[in-house]
Amino acid sequence: MTDKTTERSETIEPEDILENIESATIRFAGDSGDGMQLAGTQFTNTTAIFGNDLSTLPDYPAEIRAPAGSLPGVSGFQICFSSKDVKTPGDEPDAMVIMNPAALKVNIKDLQTGGILIVNEDAFKTLNLQKAGFETSPLEDDSLSAYRLIKIPITKLTLNALEKFDLTNKIKERSKNFTALGIIFWLYDRPLEPTVNWVNEKFAKVPEVAKANITALKTGYNFASTTRIFASHYSIKKAKMKAGKYRNITGNEATALGFVTATTLAKIPLVYASYPITPASDILHELAKHKTFGVKTIQAEDEIAAICAAIGASYAGSFGITGTSGPGLALKSEASNLALITELPLVITNVQRGGPSTGLPTKTEQSDLLQAMYGRNGDSPLPILAAATPADCFYMAFEAVRLAIEAMSPVILLSDGYLGSGAEPFAIPNIKDLPKIKIMHHTDPKTFEPYKRDKKSFSRPWAIPGTFGLEHRLGGLEKSDGSGDVSYDPENHQLMTDYRHKKVESLANLIPELEVYGAKSGKLLVLGWGSTFGAISTAVEKEQKNGTDVSSAHLRYINPFPKNLGKVLGSFEKILIPELNMGQLSMIINAKFNLKVIQLNKVHGKPFLIHEIIKKIRLTLEGK
């Protein structure tokens, strides 16, 4: 916490100290049955409405219900919120809410020294302690002396407050996340109304449960306020954000909205075909709601069927999109090539997760870049885009649709688990400011040849079944330039292969140039792509403030690269590429620009921390 100014309120007793701070990072952690994701989401919504900038990181287990109280069953939710610009969910939490011993065991190492540690002491009983591998209660020895430990009987408080409710004890106990939330709301001086409204809406059909949750929320708030168990509480002023209307959005929601927006504005029906897979399923859930926009969703029998249905939809004149995560992209590779050779527009979204194989389904990673670039048979270039932040998913989804139509080609859009389930405020755009997308279905039989190419974009005409006089055959076999007849001619195969490359390369004329943050030349450029944007840009800004000669740039277009990338790379003495993989972008950059970049690689299933990047910047500049 920085920039502390102490204020004393005149209406409250002198002991109640409200400190103004610039930003805070907090984490809720408990058993997956403890409702920590809900508590985190409610805190996020309230904080967004309150007007802070924020960034969140849900961290939940792969198991739906791992054994209660076990280490694998721990679920966490972290949020960083501030009166200034926030680009990451924060490195080390300032405060943690810990609902059981297992959550303590898993999370405590991340808490800042001197950080606030709120613990539900009711959960620290022999059995739970054993499950978490504690021989004695850490609340009773001095193992937590580095933190400001605050023991609260959250379960008891909840049950006492709900004593007169006509609910079973089991149901009553479930409200304890609201009690914890109430405590945190007081600690960070947040209003209760948004959560009260949400509870009333969500539990409208079970008013007794709604009332119980609200009672628990107020119990926690009042407990914190009246017992003075905290030395002080904190206020974080509204952030100075660009004027406009905002909403809180996750990357997956933003991706879905980007697709609906692009296709609606282009006046083309959207068909989204997908097979459920973590962490991409939320895109399917979101799109399935939007029937009033003519969106058709197909839950296919497998990953291959999903992409094939999307191809069929595009062939018949809709815009086909499929979404998946790494293992699903592998299954879709043959069909992606079918879309590539038949030159049909399509978007394939990959919300990346830890690999290889099933890997770490609920954890984030950026390790499918090479799969997206090269994971198909033959010479098969595809445009590849990568979103930088949860809100940026909206714009890159829109771009993916636009470029797929321009090039008559499948486009791969890379997001990841961190972007997909992480959230941030989204400045809602005015649709009038978005790029125009024009759909041209060929109709004139006199001028029609299936593979007659546009001279500029090298794309072929989109002729859809049902159009009089344009009957033709498409397929996975190599086609003759122009006529589209099956061709085994050697020269023709070379020509068509060249065209497929040129088509992708020519998109460089339709995408923005790479922007450099900081000096346009100098000692060090930190180059990133995808979800590392927040950590990299924050780290570089901090170092720039210290007078360090370092700039950053972020790639959102990976195939083709922005036209000025070579020039940018040539303007710096050293290039550092941090990636959540073992060096995939580095490999592409080294090969294309004949460089030897410096790498920072991490595959912990978690995003970079700001200080990890700062450390590497310093080491690099020191020549280590």
Partner 1 sequence: MANKNNGNGATKVKLTKADFTSDNEVRWCPGCGDYSILSQVQKLLPTLGVPKENFVFISGIGCSSRFPYYMDTYGFHSIHGRALPIATGVKVSNPELSVWVITGDGDALSIGGNHFIHALRRNLDINILLFNNRIYGLTKGQYSPTSEFGKVTKSSPYGSVEQPIRPVNLALAAEATFVARSVDRWPHHLSEMIRKAYEHKGTSLVEIYQNCNIFNDGVFSDYTEKDVKDDNTIVLEDGKPLIFGKERDKGIILDGVTPKVVELNDGYSVSDLLVHHEKEESPVMSHILANIEFYGGPVPVGIFRSIDKPRYEEMLIDQMNDTIEKNGKGDIQDLLNSGHTWNVN
> Which one of 465, 482, 512, 570 is in contact with partner 1 (CB under 8 A)?
465
Find the shortest distance in angstroms from Cβ 302 to partner 1. 6
Distance of CA 293 to the CA centre of its chain: 24
Contact letters for partner 1, residues 83-122 (x by CB under 8 A): ----------------------------------------
Residue with Cβ nearer partner 1 (145 or 430) = 430
The site map against partner 1 for 123-152 (x = CB under 8 A) is: ------------------------------
Restricting to residues 490-509, name those near partner 1 by CB under 8 A. none
Are 286 and 239 spatial neighbours (Cβ–Cβ below 8 Å)? no
- Using CB under 8 A, which of the segments 62-70, 170-178, 310-318, 594-602 binds partner 1? 310-318
Here the tokens at position 93 are: 């939490």
346 neighbors 313 (Cβ within 8 angstroms): no
| Binder of partner 1 out of 17, 144, 171, 304 (CB under 8 A) | 304
Task: Show the DSSP H helices in 523-604 as ranges.
Answer: 533-545, 565-570, 584-593
Contact region with partner 1 (CB under 8 A), list: 170-178, 398-406, 422-430, 490-498: 422-430
Q: Give min distance, CB of 486 to partner 1, in A.
A: 7
Shortest distance, CB of residue 488 to partner 1, whole angstroms? 12
Q: Which residues contact 621 (CB under 8 A, 6 or more apart)?
A: 523, 524, 548, 549, 550, 574
Nearer residue to partner 1 within complex by CB, 219 or 333:
333
| 477 touches partner 1 by CB under 8 A | yes
Piece in contact with partner 1 (CB under 8 A), picked from 9-17, 20-28, 127-135, 462-470: 462-470
Q: Nearest to residue 375, comparing CAs of 406, 343, 344, 352?
A: 352
DSSP 33-101: GG-HHHHHHHHHHHHHHHT-EEEEEEE--SSSSPPTT-GGGEEEEEEEEESS---SS-SS-SEEEE-SH
> Can you tell me the distance from the alpha carbon of 62 to that of 32, in angstroms, rounded to the nearest whole number?
10
Between 108 and 254, whose beta carbon lies closer to partner 1?
Answer: 254
Confirm or reject binding of residue 436 to partner 1 (CB under 8 A). Answer: no
Q: Name residues contacting partner 1, limited to 599-618 (CB under 8 A).
A: none
Phi-psi region of 318 (alpha: psi -120 to 50; beta: other; left: phi over 0): beta
- Alpha-carbon gap, residue 215 to 195, rounded angstroms: 12
What is the three-class DSSP state of 557? Answer: strand
Could you say which of 485, 505, 541, 612 contacts partner 1 (CB under 8 A)?
A: 485
Cβ-Cβ contacts under 8 Å for 392 (sequence gap 6 or more): 254, 419, 533, 556
- Sign of the C-alpha dihedral, residues 352, 357, 359, 362? positive
SS3 for 87-119, per residue?
A: CCCCCCCCEEEECCHHHHHHHHHHCCCCCEEEE
Give phi and psi for 270, each to the nearest 5: -100, 130
Minimum CB distance to partner 1 smaller for 68 or for 434:
434
Residue type, 364: T
Question: CA-to-CA distance for 310 and 274, rounded, in angstroms?
Answer: 9
Return the residues of window 259-298 that contact partner 1 according to CB under 8 A: 260-261, 264-265, 269, 271, 273, 290-294, 296, 298
Q: Which is nearer to partner 1, 264 or 564 (CB)?
A: 264
By three-state DSSP, how is residue 190 classified? coil
Q: Least separation, in Å, of the C-beta of 612 and partner 1?
A: 32
Least Å distance between CB 506 and partner 1? 26
Stretch that binds partner 1, among 305-313, 371-379, 412-420, 488-496 (CB under 8 A): 305-313
Least distance CB 237 / partner 1 (angstroms): 13
Q: Hey, CA dihedral for 112, 114, 117, 121, is it positive or negative? A: positive
Position among 26, 57, 150, 308 found at the interface with partner 1 (CB under 8 A): 308
Cis previous bond, 435, omega within 30: no
- Pick between residue 121 and residue 485 the one whose CB is nearest to partner 1: 485
Q: How far is the CB of 448 from partner 1 (least distance, A)?
A: 9
Q: Does 430 bind partner 1 (CB under 8 A)?
A: yes
Q: Looking only at residues 181 through 200 of this chain, which bind partner 1 when binding is defined by CB under 8 A?
A: 194
Contact with partner 1 (CB under 8 A): which of 123, 300, 340, 536? 300
Instruction: Report the alpha-carbon distance of residue 108 to residue 96 in Å, rounded.
Output: 8
- What distance, in Å, lies between the first and last C-alpha atoms of the chain? 31
Among 431, 436, 455, 546, binds partner 1 (CB under 8 A): 431
Q: Which residues contact residue 136 at a Cβ distance below 8 angstroms, ignoring those fewer than 6 apart?
A: 129
Among 441, 473, 520, 604, binds partner 1 (CB under 8 A): 473
Stretch 215-254 residues interacting with partner 1 (CB under 8 A): 241-248
Number of residues that bind partner 1 (CB under 8 A): 71
Give CA angle at 125 (98, 68), nearest 5°.
Answer: 65
Binding letters toward partner 1, positions 36-55, x by CB under 8 A: ---------x--xx-x----
Q: CB 345 → partner 1: shortest distance, Å?
A: 13
